[in-house]
Homo-oligomer: A and B are copies of this chain.
Amino acid sequence: MPEIKLIEIREEILADNKVLAEEIRDLLHKKRTFMLNIMSSPGSGKTSLILQTIRKMKGAFKIGVIEGDIDSTVDAEKVLREGVTAIQLKTGGFCHLDASMLQKALKELDLSNLDLIIIENVGNLVCPAEFDTGSIKNAMILSIPEGDDKPLKYPLMFTVCDVLIVNKTDYLEGSDFDMQALENRVLKLNPAIKIFKLSCKTGVGVNTWTDWLEGEVAISNYT
């Protein structure tokens, strides 16, 4: 008789990843280093935000960057030009970073000499949300041209993030992007999420973001 047989694919892949991620967080706490994982669609402004953040914070904090990219070192080169060491993880087609990849990257960094590590995850709103990188906090960027409906389409991403950065607010004027609708949708999924609105292009709002991040780094460094 024809029938349907259901196979649940290896939940243990994610379970194993979680174990590695917790090991990474233990190490970061021991070294008093804050690690932030930034996720978004391609083109939302991850690299721009990282470069702006480096410029504002590098005077007071020692920063390292881990770049996840399918097949280029362009972003790592931009980071290097700001005087910051970048580890480039070439995923070779993989659409996310996982904890085992992060472990390899962290071995290349001198954690005792870093206050803040920023991860630029692979541009994708689906897969990176599944894999805990071992970061202390997760941030995502949504840019105005992507639309206010994204929380409906990618709920997991909005759920796993501690911070939502709404970028490209310079596009708001004349657009039909409904900021209140976005906030309602996001907060329904994740009432504790912090929302920052900024434009990496004009610089408006960036200080509020870096003020928050500096506070988080300070907490990690001294507790």
**Main SS at interface, chain A:** mixed
Those of A1-32 within 8 Å (CB) of chain B: 2-11, 13-14
Please judge, given known A-B contacts A93-B130, A95-B95, whether A88 and B9 are in contact too, CB under 8 Å. no
Q: Does A174 contact B (CB under 8 A)?
A: no
What are the residues of chain B within 8 A of A126 when measuring CB–CB? Answer: 93, 95
Interface centre among A9, A79, A80 (most CB of B within 10 A): A9
Q: Is the CB of B90 within 8 A of A3?
A: no
Asked if A203 is at the interface of the complex by the 8 Å CB criterion, the answer is no
Instruction: Give chain B nearest CB distance to A17 CB in angstroms.
Output: 12
Partner of A89, one of B9, B14, B79, B84: B9
Contact A127 B6 (CB under 8 A): no
Interface size, A (range): 35 or more
Given A93-B156, A95-B126, A127-B93, A101-B2 contact (CB < 8 Å) = no
Nearest Cβ in chain B — how far from A4, in angstroms?
Answer: 5
Residues of chain B within 8 A of A91, CB atoms compared: 9
Known: A5-B86, A93-B156. 4 other contacts (CB 8 A): A6-B73, A7-B89, A7-B90, A9-B91
Pairs A–B under 8 Å by Cβ, sample size 25: A2-B80, A3-B80, A3-B85, A4-B73, A4-B79, A4-B87, A4-B88, A5-B85, A5-B88, A6-B73, A7-B88, A7-B90, A8-B90, A8-B92, A9-B92, A9-B94, A9-B101, A10-B101, A14-B92, A14-B93, A93-B126, A93-B130, A94-B127, A94-B130, A95-B95
